[in-house]
Amino acid sequence: MSADAIAIATTLILAALGALFTERAGVLNLGIEGILLTSAISSFLAADASGSVWLGLIVGTVIGAVLASIHALLSVVFRANQIVAGLALVIFGTGLANFLGKPAEGKTVTTVINPLSFGPLSDIPVIGPIVFGQDIITYLAIALAIVASRYLFSTRPGLELRATGDDPATVDAQGLSVARIRIRYTMIGGALVGLGGSWLMLAQSAGWHQAATTNGLGWIALALVVFAGWRPMRIIFGAVLFGFTLQLPFTLQAEQITFIPSAFLEMLPYLATLIALIALSRPGSRNLLGAPRALGTPFVRDER
Amino acid sequence: MQIPFRVVFEQRGETPRRLSLLVPFASVVAALFFGALFLLATGYSPIDTYTNMFRDGFASFNGITDTLALSTVLICTGISAAFAFQMNLYNIGGEGQLYLGLIGGAWAGIALGDHLPTLLMVPVVLLCGAIAGAAWIFVPAFVRSRLGTSEIVSTLLLTYIGASLIKHVIYTPGSFFRNPNTSFPQGRMVADSASLDSFGSSRLYPTFFVALIIAGALYWVVKRTEFGYRINVISDSPRAAHYAGINARRTTMWVMLISGSLSGLAGAMLIVGPYGKIEPSIITLGYGYAGIVVAALARNNLGLIIVSGILFSGLRVGGNNLQVTTDTPIHIGVMLQGAILLFALGGEAFRRYHIHIVRVHEATSQKASA
C-alpha cells in the first residue's frame, strides 16, 4: 500500500518546502500548481528528447526557478497584489504546460528514475519497500527538509530569511536588501517546486495527462505549509499523512472495501486540512501558528 | 558587485486618466505580442492563430453569441470575486461555490420542477443555486470573521471538496442527481419548467441580461448605499471603521456570503441555460478561477467586469475553436489569459508609481566595490 503514498509525499515535500522558503521570506506564491505542471512537462520533453532523466530533472528545476522569477518580479519589484499574481501564474502555467504537452499526450518516458537497491533490506516485508524501496530523489527530499530545518533555525542566513518574512524593516536597517533576499528565496522555492514536478513526471512515469498530472498537488502543498506551521520537519510528517489519505481511496478500492463512499475518502485530506486550519487559528494564535508576519505584504522603505 | 543604477518607485498622488486607459490596453497588446513570439518559437503561425481566434471569438454570429453566452457565467464569477476582493477578502473558491450552485439549482429543478410554472421556477432555481453557493462559503466566512482564519486557503480547500461532491452525485448509482434511465453516468435533466430557451439558433440565454442587471445592481450598492460605504471604509482603514462603530465582523460575513452566492448563481445559470443537468465536466473548465482573472483585469470595478468578462470569454471561445480551424493547441487561449493578467499586474506598477532609473552616486559604488 504505502509505497505509493510515499511517492505522492515526495512531490509534496519538495513543493511544500519550496512554498515554505518563499513564504518565510514574506512572499506568498499561490502559483505553485502552475509551476508544478510546467516543470513536469518541461522535464518530460527534455528527458524524451535527450534520453536522460537527469537532464530532465535539471530542466524542470530551472523552469521552476524561471517561473518563480516572474512572480518575484511582479510581487517584489512591481509590488503587485501577490494573490492575484500567483493565480495569474497558475493560469499561465496551466495553459503553457498544456500547450507544450500536446505532442507528449499518450507518450511515456522510456528511461525512468529507478528505486535504489539496498539488497536484502528492500525485501523485508511491509517496511522494506517503504523505507528501502525509494529512489534517490525521495531520500534527497527528506534530507532537504532536515537541512532546511537546520538552515532556517541554526544559521545566520536562515535567521536573515526568517527576519525578512517577519520584520523586513529590521532587515533593511541591518543594511541588507529585502528585495534581493525575497527574490532569491522565491526563485529557490520555485526551483524546489520544479524539482518536485519533474520528479512526479519522471519517477512515476505515468505519462502526461494535462492538469490531471498534478491533480491539485500544488494547492495541497500550500495547505501543507500552513498545516506544518511553516516548519520543515513537520512537512515530512504532513506530506506522508497527506500522501496516505490521497492514496487511501485507491487502496480501499483494490481491497474491495466499499462501505465508505470513495468521494468521502477523496475529500478527506482537504477536510482534515480545513479542520486543522480552523482549529489552529484561535484569536491571537497567528504567532503560535508560525505564519511569517509580513507574509504577502510588499516592503516599501519610505512608507514605513 | 554593485549595480551602478537603481530603479526608484515614486508613488503618484493622482493617476493620470490616460494611463488608466492606456495600461490595460497596453497589457493586452504586450501579452498578444509575447504570445506571437511564443507561437513563432514553437513553430505555429501567430497570424493564422490570432485571425482565427478573433473571428471565432468576436467577429461571427456564432462567435459573438457564444462569447456572450460564456460571459454570462464569467461576469457572475467575476463580480463574485471582485465584490469580496475590494474588501481585501480573497475568496478564491468561487470555483467550488459554482459547483454547489449547479447542485442547488439542479435540486430545485428536479424536485420542484413539476409543481411550478416557468415564470416562477427559473427564479427559484437561480435562488437555490445562490443559496447553495452562499452555504459553501459559510464556514470560511464564519471563521474568517470570528477567528481570522485565512479565507484564501479555506475557500480553496472547499473547491476540492466540492469537486468530489459533483463526482459523487453523478457517479454514485442511484443518486438523486443521476439520470436513472441510462447506464452511462450522467446528470438527471431538470423539469421543462426549469429551463429557458436560447435566442433563435444561438446558444445565448436570457440569463445574460440577468448577469448584467446584477452587475449594475451591485455597482449601485457599492457606490450609493450605506452598506457599500461601510465596505469602502473597512477596506481603506479597518481602524477608522472600528472607531466609527462599524461592525466589521458582520460586514465581512455578509460580503463573503454575497460573494459566494454570486458564484453559486453562475452555476444555477448553467442549469437553466445550456446544461439542464449537472454536467460533471464542469470541474475541468475553471469558470470560477477565470472569474478571478476577470475581476483582476477590471481592477475589481464592477462596471468594467462586464467588459473584461466579454473579452475573456471571446479569447476562450476563439481559443477553443482553434482545434477545429488550425492545428494550434487550444491551450494558447488559456495561456494568453494568464499572460494578459501578468502583464496587467506589471502595468499596474506604472499606473500607481512614477518609475525612473537613477544612477547611484559614484562614491558609494566605488566604496562598495572596494
A273 touches chain B (CB under 8 A): yes
The answer to whether B167 contacts A266, with C-beta atoms less than 8 Å apart, is: yes
A208: three-class secondary structure by DSSP: strand
CB B259 within 8 A of CB B84: yes
Chain A 203-242, residues with CB within 8 Å of chain B CB atoms: 211, 216, 219, 222-223, 226
Separation between Cα atoms, residue B140 and residue B2, nearest integer Å? 47
Chain centre distance of CA B280: 19
Beta strands per DSSP E along A38-190: none
Minimum CA–CA partner of A102 in chain B: B329
| CB nearest A70 (choices: B167, B290, B342) | B342
B6-20, B128-142, B186-200: range with lowest mean pLDDT:
B6-20
Once rounded to an integer, what is the mean pLDDT over residues B160-187?
88
- Model pLDDT, residue B342: 92
Longest pairwise C-alpha distance within chain A? 64
Tell me the per-residue pLDDT of A223-263, one tens digit each, with 9 for 90 and over.
888 878 899 999 999 898 888 887 777 777 777 776 777 77
The answer to whether A281 contacts B335, with C-beta atoms less than 8 Å apart, is: no
Residue A6 belongs to domain with CATH number:
1.10.3470
Measured at the CA of A173, the angle between CA A167 and CA A174, to 5 degrees, comes to 95
Chain A 283-302, residues with CB within 8 Å of chain B CB atoms: 283, 286, 300
| CB nearest A74 (choices: B150, B336, B342) | B342
| CB nearest A270 (choices: B9, B160, B172) | B160
- Across the strands, what pairs with B359? B5
CB B126 within 8 A of CB B194: no
Residue A7 lies in a domain: yes
- Model pLDDT, residue A252: 76
The distance of A299 to chain B (nearest Cα, Å) reads 12
Decide if pLDDT at A134 tops 70. Answer: yes
CB B138 within 8 A of CB B100: no
A138-152, A170-184, B127-141, B288-302: range with lowest mean pLDDT:
B288-302
- Fill in the amino acid letter for A209: H
- The Cα-based distances of B246 to A211, A251, B141, B148, B343 in angstroms read 44, 52, 18, 17, 37
**Domain, as residue range, for A268:** 2-114+129-303
Query: Who contacts B173 (Cβ-Cβ below 8 Å, separation ≥6)?
Result: none
Residue A245 lies in a domain: yes
Residue A119 lies in a domain: no
Decide if pLDDT at B269 tops 70. Answer: yes
Residues belonging to chain A: 304
Tell me the per-residue pLDDT of B216-232, one tens digit each, with 9 for 90 and over.
999 999 989 989 988 88
Could you give the number of structural domains in chain A?
A: 1
| CB nearest B341 (choices: A88, A211, A281) | A88
Minimum CA–CA partner of A273 in chain B: B157
Tell me the average pLDDT of chain B.
Answer: 87
A116 touches chain B (CB under 8 A): no
Query: Who contacts B113 (Cβ-Cβ below 8 Å, separation ≥6)?
Result: B121, B190, B191, B192, B193, B194
Helix (H) or strand (E) holding B8: strand B5-11
Once rounded to an integer, what is the mean pLDDT over residues B182-197?
87
Separation between Cα atoms, residue B261 and residue A3, nearest integer Å? 42
CB B273 within 8 A of CB B141: no
Decide if pLDDT at B133 tops 60. Answer: yes
Upper half-sphere CA count for residue B341 (Cβ side, 13 Å) = 35
- Across the strands, what pairs with A105? A208
Decide if pLDDT at A137 tops 70. Answer: yes
Could you tell me how many CB contacts below 8 A there are between chain A and chain B? 151
- The Cα-based distances of B260 to B94, B205, B278, B296, B310 in angstroms read 7, 22, 19, 17, 21
- Model pLDDT, residue B3: 66
The distance of A281 to chain B (nearest Cα, Å) reads 6
Separation between Cα atoms, residue A8 and residue A17, nearest integer Å? 14
Upper half-sphere CA count for residue A159 (Cβ side, 13 Å) = 5
Minimum CA–CA partner of A261 in chain B: B168
Question: Which residues does chain A have within 8 Å of residue B2's beta carbon, measured at their own beta carbons?
Answer: none
Selection from A163, A190, A189 nearest residue A176 by Cα: A163
| CB nearest B149 (choices: A87, A270, A277) | A277
Decide if pLDDT at B38 tops 50. Answer: yes
- Model pLDDT, residue B25: 82
| CB nearest A84 (choices: B290, B339, B345) | B345
Instruction: Retrieve residue B309's grid coordinates.
Output: 468578462
Q: What is the share, in percent, of chain A residues with pLDDT greater than 90?
A: 44
Tell me the per-residue pLDDT of A85-122, one tens digit each, with 9 for 90 and over.
998 999 899 999 999 988 887 777 666 677 766 666 66
CB A10 within 8 A of CB A137: yes
The distance of A128 to chain B (nearest Cα, Å) reads 34
Decide if pLDDT at B245 tops 90. Answer: no
Longest pairwise C-alpha distance within chain B? 86
Decide if pLDDT at B196 tops 60. Answer: yes
- Domain residue ranges in chain B: 69-300
Beta strands per DSSP E along A176-230: none
- Model pLDDT, residue A26: 93
Helix (H) or strand (E) holding B207: helix B207-224
Decide if pLDDT at A217 tops 90. Answer: no
- Model pLDDT, residue A116: 67
The ipTM, to two decimals, is 0.85
Q: A284 phi and psi, to 5 degrees?
A: 80, 5
Residue A122 lies in a domain: no
Separation between Cα atoms, residue A75 and residue B250, nearest integer Å? 31
CA-CA-CA-CA dihedral for B291, B294, B300, B306, to nearest 10: -100
CB B113 within 8 A of CB B193: yes
pLDDT tier, B366 (very low <50, low <70, confident <90, very high otherwise): very low
Separation between Cα atoms, residue A302 and residue A285, nearest integer Å? 30
Decide if pLDDT at A4 tops 50. Answer: yes
